[in-house]
Amino acid sequence: MCITQELNYNENSKKVKDVPINEDVREYTKSFFRVKKWLQNPVQDCHEFGRWQDEELNEMSTEFMKCKDSSENAKVYKQRIVFQILKLVILKCITCKCSVHKNIIEELEQAKLEECKETPPSEIKALHDIVTRYHELTEEDDIQRLLHECDQLCISQEGVCVSLVEPNDHSKKKQFRIYFFNPDITKLESGSAVVICFGTNKGHSLYK
């Protein structure tokens, strides 16, 4: 895909939406579309992931290759990979204080529409909202809040099948961590423990 400067660029504008993308952002944008194309037919390993130097993205691509023949799990990992790279492209734009290319914005809008067909808008909508607010900033405005907000976005893993039962064979085992968030817990006192109770409304209980 050819990523060119948008024709409506206004040199007199102070808003970041009118600041042209630099060469680094251009290459990151091209890389996104190369990965997206590869996801449609992943017959070989994709070397694009090394460009991003993102551990989470590398893990996603590894897991995707393991389950690519499982349509449901593969679909979930495709969505997560696309979301993660979109987020990384936008983070790069915010860091460089340049516009987000119109092709990336179109991807966000399309993904948001597809997401709305099945589930309520969530992470994609939040990402699109960040870009909208970012484009209204000027080059002199503080970007740290938006940068942090974007960096904290994480797509859910609903739909990925994870077995918590130890296999009887000698297959390779993998350690992983599960994070739970509950807004009612603001501080844990020393000596307290959190017990996860699956199937309850709160999902936790505390004791000393």
Question: Where does residue 135 rank: exposed (0-12), middle (13-18), buried (19+ CB within 10 A)?
Answer: middle
- The whole-number pLDDT of residue 12 equals 57
Residue with tokens 């501080």: 187
pTM recorded for the entire structure: 0.68
pLDDT in tens, 163-192: 444 555 565 655 555 655 555 555 655 555
Q: Is pLDDT at 68 greater than 50 in this prediction?
A: yes
- The whole-number pLDDT of residue 134 equals 96
Q: Is pLDDT at 49 greater than 60 in this prediction?
A: yes
Check if the beta carbon of residue 4 is closer than 8 Å to that of residue 101: no
What is the rounded CA–CA span in Å between residue 204 and residue 156?
20
pLDDT in tens, 121-171: 578 889 999 999 999 999 899 999 999 999 988 775 554 444 444 555 565
pLDDT in tens, 83-119: 999 999 999 999 999 999 999 999 998 887 775 554 4
Q: Which two tokens stand for residue 170?
A: 């000698």
Q: Is 206 helix (H, G, I), strand (E, B) or coil?
A: strand
- The whole-number pLDDT of residue 190 equals 54
- The whole-number pLDDT of residue 176 equals 56
Check if the beta carbon of residue 205 is closer than 8 Å to that of residue 198: no
| Residue type (1 letter), 63 | E
CA-based nearest residue to 150, from 115, 184, 104, 102: 104
- The whole-number pLDDT of residue 153 equals 86
Residue with tokens 């004791």: 207
- The whole-number pLDDT of residue 62 equals 86
What distance lies between CA 185 and its chain's CA centroid? 26
Q: Is 98 helix (H, G, I), strand (E, B) or coil?
A: coil
Percentage of the chain modeled with pLDDT above 90: 36
Confidence of residue 35 (pLDDT cuts 50, 70, 90): very high
